[in-house]
């Protein structure tokens, strides 16, 4: 994956400023479940929390954004950040089709909207190509940066039911006599 975008900067970037990283994602959701003989349809909505580990700054994309915003020819930045946990909300649907009593295929999609504070500090060396390069401190606007955790999630899965223990899967069909 290419990484996550950062919003709240003084410039917009279509390319990710951070990433790749590892993220723990914990949802809590309410589900309305519609069940048939071999099909289940779930409508889901809820909230989530997340925390990204081991963020990497994509200096190429950050420097391009600063260069365009400041109207410079050359930029080389050095930044630090404070990683914070984030939260948001989501909604989606899941369709599960049971091929047999023990095997089901699940298709799920969710739309997530969330962010986490990601204040950035540092400086950059910049030049317009004519004057000598100078070191410039990042403005306070970079303190408003946030990791953007907004987008679609698509999942395809297999559900295996052992048939033993609890009542799992769709109800078994009754035989006519």
User: How many CB atoms are closer than 10 A to CB 126?
Assistant: 21
pLDDT of 1 reads 43
pLDDT of 142 reads 94
Nearest to 57 by CA among 81, 74, 73: 81
Report the alpha-carbon distance of residue 151 to residue 90 in Å, rounded. 10
Tokens representing 28?
């809590």
Residue 91 maps to a domain = yes
Report the alpha-carbon distance of residue 151 to residue 148 in Å, rounded. 9
Strand ranges across the sheet with 120-127: 74-81, 120-127, 134-137
Residue 46 maps to a domain = yes
pLDDT per position as a tens digit, 5-49: 899 999 988 889 998 888 899 999 999 999 999 999 999 999 999
Residue 142 maps to a domain = yes
Residue 166 maps to a domain = no
Q: Over range 116-140, report the average pLDDT.
A: 92
Greater confidence (171 vs 117) lies with 117
Residue 41 maps to a domain = yes
Residue 173 maps to a domain = no
| Residue 144: pLDDT over 60 | yes
Percent of the chain with pLDDT over 90: 73
Report the alpha-carbon distance of residue 59 to residue 76 in Å, rounded. 8
pLDDT per position as a tens digit, 49-106: 999 888 899 999 999 999 999 999 999 999 999 999 999 999 999 999 999 988 999 9
Tokens representing 102?
């023990």
pLDDT of 9 reads 94
Number of domains in the chain: 1
| Residue 4: pLDDT over 90 | no
pLDDT per position as a tens digit, 54-65: 889 999 999 999
Residue 177 maps to a domain = no
Residue 171 maps to a domain = no
| Residue 2: pLDDT over 60 | no
Q: Are 29 and 45 in contact (CB under 8 A)?
A: yes
Q: Which domain range does residue 143 map to? A: 6-160
Cα 77-148-45 angle, rounded to 5 deg: 170
């Amino acid at each position: 994956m290419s990484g996550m975008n950062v919003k709240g900067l003084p410039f917009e970037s279509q390319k990710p400023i951070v990433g790749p990283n590892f993220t723990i994602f914990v949802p809590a959701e309410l589900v309305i479940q519609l069940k048939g003989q071999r099909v289940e349809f779930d409508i889901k909505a809820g909230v989530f929390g997340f925390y990204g580990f081991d963020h990497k700054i994509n200096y190429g994309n950050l420097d391009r954004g600063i260069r365009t915003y400041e109207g410079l020819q050359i930029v080389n930045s050095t930044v630090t950040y404070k990683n914070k946990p984030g939260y948001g909300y989501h909604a989606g649907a899941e369709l599960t089709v049971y091929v047999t009593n023990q095997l089901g295929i699940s298709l799920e999609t969710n739309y997530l909207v969330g962010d986490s504070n990601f204040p950035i500090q540092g400086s950059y060396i910049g030049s317009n190509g004519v004057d000598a390069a100078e070191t410039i401190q990042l403005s306070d606007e970079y303190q408003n940066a946030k990791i953007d955790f907004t987008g679609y999630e698509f999942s395809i899965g297999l559900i295996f039911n052992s048939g033993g223990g609890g009542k799992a899967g769709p109800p078994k069909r009754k035989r006519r006599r």
